[in-house]
Structure 1
Amino acid sequence: MLAALGASLPLAAATPAVAAARDTGPVSAADAVVSPAAERQIIKGFGGMNHTVWISDLTPEQRNTAFGNGEGQLGFSVLRIPVHEDRANWSREVATARRAIEHGATVIASPWNPPLHMTETFVRGGQTNARRLRYDMYGSYAQHLNDFHQFMRGNGVELYAISVQNEPDYAHDWTWWTAAELVRFLRENAGSIGTRIIAPESFQYVKSISDPILNDPQALSNLDILGAHLYGTQSQNFPYPLFKQRGAGKELWMTEVYHPNSSDSADLWPQALDVGEHMHRALVDAEFQAYVWWYIRRGYGPMRENGTISKRGANMAHFSKWIRPGHRRIEATSQPAPNVYVSAYKAPDSRITVVAVNKGGAPVSQRFVLENTARSSVLSWVTDGGRTLAAQGGTGLSNGSFTATLPAASITTYVTQ
Structure 2
Amino acid sequence: MGITCFLLVGGAAAASLIRIDPARPHQTIEGIGGALCFYNGWITAHPYKEEIYQHAFAGLNLSLLRLGNWFRYTNAPDTSAFEFVARAERILQRPVPVLMSSWAPPAFLKSNGQTGDGGTLAHRDGRFLYEEFAQYWYDALQFYRSNGVSPAWISIQNEPDWEADYDSCIFRPVEGYDRGTNYASYARALEAVHRRLSGLPDPPRLLAPEVVHIRWNTLASYAATLDPRTFYGVAYHLYGDSIDDTVDGYVPSLVEATRYFPDKPRFMTEYGLSNMLDAAILLHHCLTAGRVSGFAFWSLIWPGADGGLIQIEFPWDRSRWTNAPPGTPTQARGYWIAPAYWAVKHYSCFITPGSRRVEATSEHPQVLASAFLTPDNLRLVAVLINRHASTAATIRWNLGSFPAFRSSAYQTTSAQAHDPASTNRFVPLGEIGPEPALPPSSITTVIWDAYVPLGSAGDPSPAPGAVGVPTDLQLRWTPGSNALVSAVYLGADSNRVARAGPADPEFRGWSTTNALPIRGLDGGTIYFWRVDSIAGGNTNAGPVWSFVTAAAPALKHRYNFDEATGNTVIDSASGPAGNGILPNGALRTAGRVRLSPASQQHVALPTGLVSGLNDFSAAVWLRLHSAANWARIFDFGHNTQTNMFLTARNGSNGRLRFAITVSGSGGEQRMDGPVLATGLWYHIVVTLRGSVGMLYVNGAPVATNTGLTLRPSSLGPTVNNYLGRSQYAWDPYLDAELDEFQIYRVALRPQEIAALYRLGPDRLLAETPPLLEIRRLGNQLRITWPLAHAGFALQVATNLTGPDWQPVAVPSPAIVGDQWQVDLSLSPGPMRFYRLGR
Band of TM-score, shorter chain: 0.7 to 0.9
Native 8 Å contact 1:52 1:92 kept in 2: no
Distance 1:408 1:242 in 2: 32
Please say which of residues 52-61 and 76-85 is displaced more in the overlay. Answer: 52-61
Native 8 Å contact 1:352 1:415 kept in 2: yes
Query: Which structure 1 residue ranges, 4+ long, deviate > 3 Å from structure 2?
Result: 25-30, 52-55, 206-217, 240-244, 306-309
From 341, 348, 352, give the equivalent of 1:320. 348
**Going by fraction, where is helix more abundant, 1 or 2?**
1
Residue 300 of structure 2 corresponds to 296
* Alpha-carbon distance change, 372 to 57 in structure 1, aligned in 2, over 3 angstroms: same
Native 8 Å contact 2:33 2:64 kept in 1: yes
Residue 141 of structure 1 corresponds to 133
- Which AA in structure 2 matches 1:376? F
Distance 1:242 1:32 in 2: 25
Residue 19 of structure 1 corresponds to none
Native 8 Å contact 1:183 1:212 kept in 2: no
From 56, 79, 86, give the equivalent of 1:91. 79
Residue 254 of structure 2 corresponds to 238
Distance 2:66 2:170 in 1: 21
Larger radius of gyration: 2
CA deviations over 1:338-365 (Å, ceiling 9, x no partner):
3321100111232111100111021001
Distance 1:186 1:74 in 2: 32
Question: 1:140 is paired with a residue of what secondary structure?
Answer: helix
Residue 146 of structure 2 corresponds to 154
Distance 1:308 1:290 in 2: 26
Question: 1:376 is paired with a residue of what secondary structure?
Answer: strand
Question: 2:402 is paired with a residue of what secondary structure?
Answer: coil
Pairing of 1:338-417 with structure 2 (within 5 A): 338-350=365-377, 351-360=379-388, 361-384=390-413, 385-386=415-416, 387-395=424-432, 402-417=434-449
Q: Displacement of 1:206 after TM fit?
A: 4.2
* Alpha-carbon distance change, 197 to 272 in structure 1, aligned in 2, over 3 angstroms: same
Distance 2:193 2:290 in 1: 29
Distance 1:182 1:411 in 2: 40
Residue 49 of structure 1 corresponds to 35
Please say which of residues 357-366 and 77-86 is displaced more in the overlay. Answer: 77-86
2:172 matched to 1:167?
Answer: no
Native 8 Å contact 2:137 2:193 kept in 1: no
Question: 2:66 is paired with a residue of what secondary structure?
Answer: strand
TM-score of the two chains, using structure 1 as the length reference? 0.81
Native 8 Å contact 1:145 1:162 kept in 2: no
Distance 2:347 2:267 in 1: 15
Distance 1:207 1:44 in 2: 28
- Which AA in structure 2 matches 1:276? A
Distance 2:380 2:216 in 1: 33
Native 8 Å contact 1:227 1:252 kept in 2: yes
* Higher RCO by CA contacts (8 Å cutoff, separation 6 or greater): 1
2:143 matched to 1:115?
Answer: no
- Which AA in structure 1 matches 2:347? F
Identical pairs, percent: 26
Distance 2:146 2:71 in 1: 19
2:88 matched to 1:100?
Answer: yes
Question: 2:78 is paired with a residue of what secondary structure?
Answer: helix
Q: Displacement of 1:207 after TM fit?
A: 7.6
From 157, 170, 174, give the equivalent of 1:176. 170
Residue 258 of structure 1 corresponds to 272
Give the paired residue count: 364
Q: Displacement of 1:308 after TM fit?
A: 5.0
* Alpha-carbon distance change, 27 to 320 in structure 1, aligned in 2, over 3 angstroms: farther
Q: Displacement of 1:300 after TM fit?
A: 3.1
Q: Displacement of 1:243 after TM fit?
A: 4.3
Question: 1:382 is paired with a residue of what secondary structure?
Answer: strand
- Which AA in structure 2 matches 1:205? I
Q: Displacement of 1:160 after TM fit?
A: 0.5
Distance 2:253 2:150 in 1: 34
- Which AA in structure 2 matches 1:413? T
- Which AA in structure 1 matches 2:297? W
- Which AA in structure 2 matches 1:179? P
Question: 1:304 is paired with a residue of what secondary structure?
Answer: strand
- Which AA in structure 1 matches 2:353? P
Q: Alpha carbon RMSD of aligned pairs, Å? A: 2.4
Native 8 Å contact 2:279 2:344 kept in 1: yes
Native 8 Å contact 1:48 1:294 kept in 2: yes
Residue 248 of structure 2 corresponds to none
- Which AA in structure 2 matches 1:163? S
Q: Displacement of 1:391 after TM fit?
A: 0.3
Distance 1:242 1:341 in 2: 20
Native 8 Å contact 1:65 1:308 kept in 2: no
- Which AA in structure 2 matches 1:388? R
Distance 1:241 1:304 in 2: 31
CA deviations over 1:60-107 (Å, ceiling 9, x no partner):
332232122xxxx12111111111153424233211023334433201
**Going by fraction, where is strand more abundant, 1 or 2?**
2
Native 8 Å contact 1:43 1:324 kept in 2: yes
Q: Which runs of 5+ in 1 are unaligned?
A: 1-24, 123-128, 261-270, 397-401
Distance 2:253 2:38 in 1: 33
Question: 1:57 is paired with a residue of what secondary structure?
Answer: helix
CA deviations over 1:302-339 (Å, ceiling 9, x no partner):
22324554321011000000101111100000x53233
* Alpha-carbon distance change, 395 to 294 in structure 1, aligned in 2, over 3 angstroms: closer
- Which AA in structure 1 matches 2:367? V
From 54, 64, 80, give the equivalent of 1:78. 64
Q: Displacement of 1:229 after TM fit?
A: 0.8
- Which AA in structure 1 matches 2:25? E
Distance 1:415 1:76 in 2: 18
Distance 2:89 2:36 in 1: 14
Pairing of 1:264-275 with structure 2 (within 5 A): 271-275=275-279
Distance 1:90 1:142 in 2: 20
* Alpha-carbon distance change, 241 to 281 in structure 1, aligned in 2, over 3 angstroms: closer
Residue 287 of structure 1 corresponds to 291
Distance 2:155 2:19 in 1: 38
- Which AA in structure 1 matches 2:271? V
- Which AA in structure 1 matches 2:122? R
Distance 1:221 1:112 in 2: 24
Please say which of residues 344-353 and 78-87 is displaced more in the overlay. Answer: 78-87
* Alpha-carbon distance change, 101 to 138 in structure 1, aligned in 2, over 3 angstroms: farther
CA deviations over 1:31-79 (Å, ceiling 9, x no partner):
11100000001111111111355652352332232122xxxx1211111
Q: Displacement of 1:170 after TM fit?
A: 2.0
Q: Displacement of 1:133 after TM fit?
A: 1.0
Distance 2:265 2:216 in 1: 16
Q: Displacement of 1:148 after TM fit?
A: 1.4
Q: Displacement of 1:168 after TM fit?
A: 1.4
Distance 2:432 2:293 in 1: 29
Please say which of residues 297-306 and 105-114 is displaced more in the overlay. Answer: 297-306
CA deviations over 1:120-143 (Å, ceiling 9, x no partner):
149xxxxxx641112432211111
- Which AA in structure 1 matches 2:307? Y
TM-score of the two chains, using structure 2 as the length reference? 0.41
Q: Displacement of 1:213 after TM fit?
A: 5.6
